[in-house]
Structure 1
Amino acid sequence: MPALFSDADLVRQPREIYPGCVHVPGWLSMNQQRFLVGEFFRWGQTTPEREGISRGIPPHSPEIYGKKMSVRLTSLGWHWSDYAYRNDAPEFGGAQPFAVPDWLQRMGRQALDAAYQPSTAPSWPAFDGPQHAEWVSSYCPDVALINYYAPHASMGMHQDKDERSSMPIVSVSMGNTGVFRAGNSENKNMPFEDILLASGDLIVFGGPSRFMYHGVPKILPDTSPAELNFPEGRINITLRQTGLSPAGN
């Protein structure tokens, strides 16, 4: 008789990795994933607009210390370059990113609500019902960084510290499974934990884990769900609240 619960079923439950860092497997429905994949391609198309200003940042590989990243990046709200946010992308003729849509901001608040339930995240932020709801409602991400990982792409250990706000980072994945390495806040070395982020998974990190070093050392081939119709690579959307003045979008 087959087991009612496989090891994978038992392991892939929402859990607190560290205080403030929470993994919620399968958070996005397949329809939501398909929609986000389609939006990724739309967001990366440059569109002429009024007064000669173009909208949309093409997916590109930013240079870090003179070396191109293996991932390809596009963004909403702000353009990210040289560890800073700016209104436009000089390397693309001054094109400006599309604004972060209201529905994506709502998704970010829904993600915080789901991840930081006391039953899943007992350590932090440890709010009661009214406090939790008020805190979640205050989250207003004004930038989305969207990375495309080709099958052999990776991302080294780093901190997300270009924002003035310390509100949590919200991250969702579509496509191939990625190995997400969650480290400590002091350096790039151990201790760290490797977490498999499958298509539809959510990971959120804030509070004591907001500035943890993290990276994606590997993408697992042939792991994208067939029904997603996105066989190659991985798309990762991270929402952040910068604390900067409005980008003029």
Structure 2
Amino acid sequence: MKNNQSLNDFLLPNAIVGKESNFLLLSGKTTPLRFLLHFKELLLLIFILVLFSVSTIPVFAGAYDEDLKTTDNIMDASMIYPSKVINDFNSAENVATWQAGENSKEINYVTSIANGPNSVYEGSGALEQTPELVKVYEWRTIYREFDTPLNLSDHNYLALAANSWGWQPVDYFIKVTLHSNQDSYEGIAQINSDQWNTFLLDMKDWGNRDAITKIEISYMQNFDLEGIEPGGPGYDHWMVNFKLII
């Protein structure tokens, strides 16, 4: 129901449940007219409330988060000059160190991309993730686990380059989560589709960056589905591909 609609908008002409003669007798006794009117009003009210609840289903279809934004520990980077490369994804073996996580169908090594700028970020390849058919606002995750904890104590920033494309060209977000056993540290960045986005995660104040056991990278589109009917484009699921170097 739109904000400017009221219950009166749902009062349809002749919206009476049954004929008036159906309600003249209750328990074999004649019903006074005043009681009859109240009884009909009650039935009509129940009918309106049911119609109201059914009509509002599309409104609550989207989990749009108006407060979602880039976190303070993210910095834009026009160029990346890493002193240590965790993954360059320039080979199938390098891509295979990562796994598909929640809402991710598969990951693959690719040497070209279909969306802008139609090339990998650098080198000969990239990791491409294909998601499951889930709602636009669901996080899609890939991850890498380290048998020997990754020590980044000599590094203050984690650099990434990411690219995506999909149903709508706006409001893409990527989330990076570093795990050290039970402890974790994360940052969220808003990115643009059809281009390589380079950014830095400031981790210098995280005390456990010397023993990273897992890196998770998730992405989604923070798109409000209000006003889109079930079955409409983008309502039931959202197909997007995602590329990454780290």
TM-score normalised to structure 1 length: 0.30
Mark the structure with the bigger radius of gyration: 2
TM-score normalised to structure 2 length: 0.30
Point out the structure with the larger strand share.
2
